[in-house]
Structure 1
Amino acid sequence: MKVDKKDLGKSQVELSIEVPLEEFDEHLKKAATRLGQKSTIPGFRPGKAPYEKIKAKVGEMNIYQEALSDIINHSFFQAVTQEKLITIGEPDIKIEKLAPGNPVVYIATVMLLPKVTLGNWQEKEIKTTEVKISQEDTNKTMDELKRMRAKEVLVDRVAQMGDKVVMDFEVSMNKVVLEGGVSYKHPLVLGEGRMVPGFEEKLVGAKAGDELEFDLTFPENYYQASLAKKEAHFKIKVLEVFTRTLPELNDELAKEFGFENLVALEKQISDNILKDKQNREQQKIEAEVMENLVTTATIDEIPEKLIHNEVHKMISELRYDLENQGLEMPKYLES
């Protein structure tokens, strides 16, 4: 096999590959067998006819075309190995010659992994922080466990902070209901701050059967960027109000979570919090090291096709995320 390499710049090369007949003869035989299985040749079962009979039936050029993909896959891998190239992505293939009794000649344009030369990244000091946990950290988690075991009782009174309210709600903007802006029998504990700022306060004083309407502005840092800092109209129907009683922190509560006593539960929580903080500190250090590596390194030019492919991938991922949030790309881009 003959391979000529031409450097195209920007981490791309062009390989002119000529594959002699003796190196792809086996691929022709396999291709002929596949075509023979699809053809009716008198005196032979499908796929059992000899090469010459199949060639006479389907035409030699059709056999070459059937074998072409296998010839290219096999020879391209050999060429890349021979030239000691580290390629990325799929090559662009241009067939130069495909004719019975002749070598197969094609040109493969391939992207190479850009060469990276590391700089003096070790010179920048990485500051580490001693990981500690406080009683406040443990108390926050213990309070969350208490909320998980809260006793709820349906009440016939107006809602107060700390109550759970079950409601139907609808969110609209310019009299158009937002995609994903409708929820039925939605539970919400007032005071936990899980909704748009001001929403929970509007429900204080409401009781089952009440219908409310009000406007609120989404915060600047709202997770849906297309809604950030925009005013929306909310329609609420209160269905139920529950009072919630939190349990005491004691051994009985610990046993509900599978621990022998409260001391064992608190120790496990403290250990988990410490491990989580240690992991986050380690991730922070690794991120700083990586940033130093990138900012001090010299990287060869990146192929335009690779950049195009990455941009396309990012756009596709953004579109997928928006659709999961009930949004459309055109509306997102307009905001």
Structure 2
Amino acid sequence: MKSAVETLNPTRVRLSIEVPFEELKDSLDAAYKKINQQVTVKGFRKGKIPARVIDQRFGRGAVLEEAVNDALPKFYTEAVNEAELNVLGQPEVDITDLKDGETLNFTAEVDVRPTIEIPDYSGIEVEVDATEVTEEDIDKAVEQLRDRFASTAPVERAAEDGDVVTIDLEAKVEGEILEDGVASGVSYTIGSGELLDGIDDAVTGLEAGGEATFTSELKGGSAEGKDAEVTVKVSQVAKRELPELDDEFAQLASEFDTLDELKADSRKRLENQKLNDQATQAQERVLEKLLELVEVPVPEKLLEDEVQTRKHNLENHQLAQMGLNLEKFLEIQGKTVEEFDAETSEQAVKGIKTQFVLDELVNKEKLNVSQEELTEHLMRRAASSGMSPDQFAQAVVEGGQVPMLVGEVARGKALAVVVESATVKDTNGEIVDLEDDEEETEEAPEAAAESTDSAEEQDKA
């Protein structure tokens, strides 16, 4: 077999392959055997029909077609390996010449990973938010906790913002009461925005026994999207009462005995959260700077597949779970289809570039993934998926996704190398040492890696 490679562009090549006819012998034998099992000829036992009879009855062309279809993947793979190509996806094959008894010539066009030159990245500098925790931050955290332990007490007055009202609802569309438009004993906090548009204005100022009617667009149910005439009747008005900020509250809301201990714990939690946020911010900004340094051509077909994968996952998984379609989602987001498509394409391009660059870094830095690192990564992914480690591991193995997880860990280590060599300063001008946040650093590229699953699938194909 002879093969030659022609570079069409930085991400696509054409293989020209010439196969001597004797190389097709095994595939021809297999073709005759297969046809033998599928047809019957009077005077011959099934499976014992001579090749010359099959040629006469069914045509030599049918045999050649079967043999070529069987042999092409093998010869294509040999040519790819010989040229040491890193191909993406399936090739477009064209048989240019087939001479019975002489040669088989065909071409195969296929996308390939581009050659990437990683420049010196040691000069990367980024700025991140400082991590100091203020008294205001602590007070806000304690207030949020206090709000969770609020109680309610009925009051005999008109409802005000922040009150909890018990209401009955009845929705009509075109004068007809909807079967699913009636609800009783609904508890609603005025100003929370958790029910219908317009309900806050309608119930504010009503006392127990009062009612009002307003018009609102229904957000779900049988008449979703239609304007309805909604009647709301208040059966009770209750005032929310917050507990006193004292040691008794600390004992109620936490494992601590005093309010000072509770505040000290809040400070520690906020500091840890800000450190984690700072590490993530550093990783994201270092990655952005790295991508700016590297020229990365993106294969058109891979980009097209990635965009379609993202749209499919959004519509059929994320939005479906929320009971939304794409049209409604874009309406809520205030985006046009064109804006959504442009954003999706931009995100896909970034995801693909990220994977290509980090994979090249893995090779350049000769990074390996240990069994312990893979296990730790699997445990984290299992926790985020809501599955047990055993269930997640089984799903990964059965789905052939182990190489994908290995790639995620390797890319994490590659980005960690770049982050370690970068200069990271906070908004106060202080140098940030991220060594203490090693675990978070290793997690950094997961979002980017997971966002390019289609590229992984192309590699596997």
The separation in 2 between residues aligned to 1:19 and 1:328, in whole angstroms, is 53
Partner of 1:17: 17
Partner of 2:190: 190
Q: Secondary structure at the residue paired with 1:325?
A: coil
Q: Does 1:276 align with 2:270?
A: no
The separation in 2 between residues aligned to 1:316 and 1:328, in whole angstroms, is 14
- Aligned in 2, Cα 1:52/1:199: closer, same or farther, shift over 3 Å? farther
> Which structure dedicates a bigger proportion of its chain to strand?
1
Provide, for residues 276-311 of structure 1, a one-character-per-residue CA deviation record: whole Å limited to 9, x for no partner.
Answer: 3222211211122122122222345x4444455455
- Aligned in 2, Cα 1:234/1:267: closer, same or farther, shift over 3 Å? farther
**Partner AA of 2:278 in structure 1:** E
- Aligned in 2, Cα 1:134/1:303: closer, same or farther, shift over 3 Å? same
Q: Does 1:297 align with 2:297?
A: no
Q: Secondary structure at the residue paired with 1:116?
A: coil
Q: Secondary structure at the residue paired with 1:127?
A: strand
Q: Contact conserved, 2:250 with 2:256, CA < 8 A, in 1?
A: no
1:39-50 equivalence runs, <5 A: 39=39, 43-44=45-46, 49=47
State the shift of 1:322 in Å. 7.4
Partner of 1:200: 200
- Aligned in 2, Cα 1:66/1:234: closer, same or farther, shift over 3 Å? same
Q: Contact conserved, 1:64 with 1:98, CA < 8 A, in 2?
A: no
Q: Contact conserved, 2:93 with 2:108, CA < 8 A, in 1?
A: yes
Q: Secondary structure at the residue paired with 1:292?
A: helix
**Partner AA of 2:280 in structure 1:** Q
State the shift of 1:83 in Å. 0.7
Q: Contact conserved, 1:126 with 1:289, CA < 8 A, in 2?
A: yes
1:238 counterpart (225, 232, 235): 232
The separation in 2 between residues aligned to 1:200 and 1:191, in whole angstroms, is 6
Q: Secondary structure at the residue paired with 1:109?
A: strand
State the shift of 1:213 in Å. 2.1
Where do 5+ consecutive residues of structure 2 fail to align? 175-180, 218-225, 340-461
The separation in 2 between residues aligned to 1:183 and 1:35, in whole angstroms, is 68
The separation in 2 between residues aligned to 1:91 and 1:205, in whole angstroms, is 70
Where do 5+ consecutive residues of structure 1 fail to align? 176-181, 217-231
The separation in 1 between residues aligned to 2:211 and 2:92, in whole angstroms, is 66
State the shift of 1:14 in Å. 0.9
State the shift of 1:108 in Å. 0.7
State the shift of 1:17 in Å. 1.4
Partner of 2:5: 5
Q: Which TM-score applies when normalising by structure 2?
A: 0.50
The percentage of counterpart residues that share the same residue type is 23
Q: Contact conserved, 2:125 with 2:286, CA < 8 A, in 1?
A: no
The separation in 2 between residues aligned to 1:303 and 1:116, in whole angstroms, is 13
For the aligned residue pairs, the C-alpha RMSD in angstroms reads 4.8
Q: How many residues align?
A: 303
The separation in 1 between residues aligned to 2:86 and 2:199, in whole angstroms, is 56
**Partner AA of 1:72 in structure 2:** L
Q: Does 1:108 align with 2:102?
A: no
The separation in 1 between residues aligned to 2:21 and 2:187, in whole angstroms, is 73
Q: Secondary structure at the residue paired with 2:122?
A: helix
Q: Contact conserved, 1:191 with 1:200, CA < 8 A, in 2?
A: yes
Q: Secondary structure at the residue paired with 1:122?
A: coil
State the shift of 1:12 in Å. 2.0
The separation in 2 between residues aligned to 1:127 and 1:194, in whole angstroms, is 38
Q: Secondary structure at the residue paired with 2:14?
A: strand
Partner of 2:211: 210
State the shift of 1:85 in Å. 1.5
